[in-house]
Amino acid sequence: MNRRPFDPRLLRRVPAARRDLAVLAVLGGLTALLVVAQATALATLLATAFDGRLHQQALAGFVAAVAGRALVSWAQGTVAARAAATVKAALRADLLGAVGRHGPTWVAGQRAGQLATLAGRGLDALDPYFTGYLPQLVLSVTVPVAVLARIVFADWSSALIIALTIPLIPIFGALLGWQAQAATERQWRRLSLLGGHFLDMVAGLPTLRAFGRSRGQVDVVRRMADGHRQATMKTLRIAFLSALVLELVATLSVALVAVPVGIRLLGGGLTLSTALLVLLLTPEAYLPLRAAGSRFHASMEGLTALDEALTLSAADAPAATAEPRRPAPDGRGEIRFEGVTVAYDRTTALRDVTLAVRPGDRVAIIGPSGAGKSTLLNLLLGFVAPTTGRVTVDGVDLAGADLDAWRRELAWVPQRAHLFAGSLADNIRLGAPDTPDDVLAAAVTGAALDEVVDALPDGLETCLGERGHGLSSGQRQRVALARAFLRDAPIVLLDEPTARLDSASEAVVLDATRRLVAGRTALLVAHRPALLADADRILRVEDGRVTELHTAATGAVAPR
């Protein structure tokens, strides 16, 4: 875990924030100059007031300094808020990019909840870091330096005391910060676990209710939430304790300066204006450090989330340096698996698979659940990389190919197509948002979605709920087929498109599937015999090994 108050990776990953951070640094220097100017003008004004005179230049300078500080403070808040918004947007885009690079196998289990919590609540915690802590961090450098430089010329002995006592605040702050960092890490871990478990529980709520286990999960969530509450309270106790310690150290340090100054003023060793200047500037030297220490604890959750986001989004990310242009495979070429093995932590999904898929082949893939059928499709989608061996398309190794360009050659219909909250038309246009209406209508007709559209109150503009709430399983599958028709890609990948459908819906989806794969290279993962009838070849996957059971040339019948 990164324990530094500023993570240098931030500047490399979010270049757009550099300008705002540079402006914050300039505003911090300007604030330091205004602090010195304000104290100098006020000391002169008070010293002359004791003599019964009003120093008009000092009064004007004091008013101008106060107005300037107010203006600079407003500018700091505005720039810091803009920097926070820029960084949050960039990190959320990076997290989505990481999900796109790694695919659905990377976003599974607790990681799904971790990413959801991080992209939402976690990155929102960066607001107090940017708007509160970072400006104070700049001031904790610029203001003490400016104050010491001014006091050295007024009273070098007071400047020496300040220089010796100022390091006590960051020292005590660091000692307490280590404890607070550990407590915040525990708090964040508990929050991530809570978010992941709650997400899984909501996704599986119908199953839990069917088996009478929903109330038991309520108790589990309550215990996890209580653990997060206790971790949060421990973090707050440490934060309050650190604020008390920093206030005590700063107060004693100011007293070490104020007492000698008062004694020397009474003895005639200092003029009134000099004594007032020292007494006014001394608290200003400690104030930014105290404020930075207290705001550091308030922003520590954001720092933890920042480190997590930078680490996750950088996982296997492409280097920022210029790279040679990657080749884009032609989807009309031959697909070859050459000695492909895919091994995970606890199992091997595919073992030494060697096969070729010629252009225009319609290949059905059968086998028991968990045998590795979907892994074959994930290899082609770029969601999974071979542990050994390689996958080539038209002679181009997918490991070194431009995956974005390659995926434009694919139309994918998964087992459970995800529909987003939005209109039906927007869901069909997911991969091609600028599709004209006539092309969209042709895709709807090809997927046999016309009757569904006619039955909806607003047709294609009907708003769907999350995950396609409002449509049946068969209707959602037809929406996925409409997406594939709209894609008009040379290669079609279908992962059990008729699973969990009744016979009537299955017949409609099968007809649409036949129209979709006509004239295209197609790989179909299938359990039901109806999908096998039109296949040119049938491959069986079992225990990670692939064997060919049927070809159009031999007319052999595939065994069960």
3-state SS track over 523-556: EEECCCHHHHCCCCEEEEEECCEEEEEEECCCCC
Neighbours of 203 (CB within 10 A): 12
Q: What radius of gyration do the chain's Cα atoms show? A: 33
Q: Tell me how far apart the alpha carbons of residues 186 and 443 are, in angstroms, rounded to a whole number.
A: 51
Closest CA to 76 of 144, 132, 11: 132
Residues of each domain in the chain carrying CATH 3.40.50.300: 335-549
Q: Greater confidence, 113 or 8?
A: 8
| Res 557 pLDDT > 50 | no
Helix (H, G, I), strand (E, B) or coil at 139: helix
- 49 is written with which tokens? 């007031």
Q: Are 367 and 303 in contact (CB under 8 A)?
A: no
Q: Give the β-pairing of 491-495 and 521-525.
A: parallel
Contact call for residues 526 and 496 (beta carbons, < 8 A): yes
pLDDT value, residue 318: 47
Q: Does domain 335-549 have CATH number 3.60.10.10?
A: no
Query: pLDDT class for 34, splitting at 50, 70, 90?
Result: very high
Most confident of 32-46, 208-222, 455-469, 488-502: 32-46
Strand partners, 545: 542
Mean pLDDT of 464-481: 77
Chain segment 240-263, per-residue pLDDT in tens: 676 677 778 778 888 888 888 888
**What's the pLDDT at 109?**
44
State the Cα–Cα distance between residues 193 and 199, nearest whole angstrom.
10
Q: 510-544: string of b/e by CB count within 10 Å (b at 16+)?
A: bebbeebbeebbbbbbbeeeebbeebbbbbbbeeb
Per-residue pLDDT at 1 exceeds 60? no
Q: Is the pLDDT of residue 279 over 60?
A: yes
Copy the structure tokens of residue 477.
Answer: 């599958």
- Per CATH, the homologous superfamily of domain 8-314 is ABC transporter type 1, transmembrane domain (1.20.1560.10)
SS3 174: helix
Confidence of residue 365 (pLDDT cuts 50, 70, 90): confident
> Tell me, what's the pLDDT at 214?
65
Enumerate residues 6+ apart whose C-beta is below 8 A from 418: 467, 468
Q: Which helix (H) or strand (E) holds 53?
A: none
State the pLDDT at residue 75.
92
Q: Which residues partner with 546 through β-bridges?
A: 541
- pLDDT over 90 (residue 136): no
Residue 327 in contact with residue 400, Cβ under 8 Å? Answer: yes
How confident is residue 325, by pLDDT bands cut at 50, 70 and 90? low
Nearest-angstrom CA–CA distance, 238 and 232: 10
C-alpha 156 chain-centroid distance: 51
311-338 per-residue burial string, b: 16 or more CB within 10 A, e: under 16: ebbeeeeeeeeeeeeebbbebebebbbb
Average model confidence (pLDDT) across the chain: 78
pLDDT class of 320 with cuts at 50, 70, 90: very low
Q: Where are the alpha helices (DSSP H) in 155-271?
A: 156-165, 168-203, 205-210, 214-266
- Every domain range in the chain assigned CATH 1.20.1560.10: 8-314
Greater model confidence, 316 or 256: 256
Weakest-pLDDT range from 3-7, 359-363, 425-429? 3-7
pLDDT at 560 over 50: no
% of the chain surpassing 90 pLDDT: 4
pLDDT-based confidence at residue 118 (cuts at 50, 70, 90): confident
Least confident of 159-163, 181-185, 327-331, 488-492: 181-185
Average pLDDT over residues 274-297: 81
Comparing CA positions, the residue from 273, 33, 299 lying closest to residue 154 is 273
pLDDT of 151 higher than 60: yes
CB 118 within 8 A of CB 313: no
**Is the confidence at residue 235, as pLDDT, over 90?**
no
Task: Give the residue from 121, 126, 120 showing the smallest Cα distance to 302.
Answer: 126
Q: Residue 527 corresponds to which tokens in the numbers above? A: 């359990």
Is the pLDDT reported for residue 556 higher than 70? no
Q: How far apart are alpha carbons 350 and 372 in whole angstroms?
A: 6
**Which position has the higher pLDDT, 546 or 312?**
546
pLDDT at 364: 87
- Nearest CA to 279 out of 39, 490, 88, 530 is that of 39
428, 348, 417: which is closest to 388 by C-alpha? 348
- Specify whether the CB–CB gap between 74 and 81 falls below 8 A: no
Does residue 287 register a pLDDT over 70?
yes
Residue 67 pLDDT: 93
Q: What mean pLDDT comes out for the span 438-451? A: 81
Tens of pLDDT, residue by residue over 410-442, are 888 887 777 877 888 888 888 777 788 888 888
Q: What is the pTM of this model?
A: 0.56
List the Cα angle 209/212/215 in 5-degree steps.
85
Distances (CA, A) of 69 to 229, 295, 322: 39, 20, 44
pLDDT in tens, 63-89: 999 999 999 999 998 998 898 888 888
42 has a pLDDT exceeding 70: yes
pLDDT of 558 reads: 43
The answer to whether residue 184 scores a pLDDT higher than 70 is no
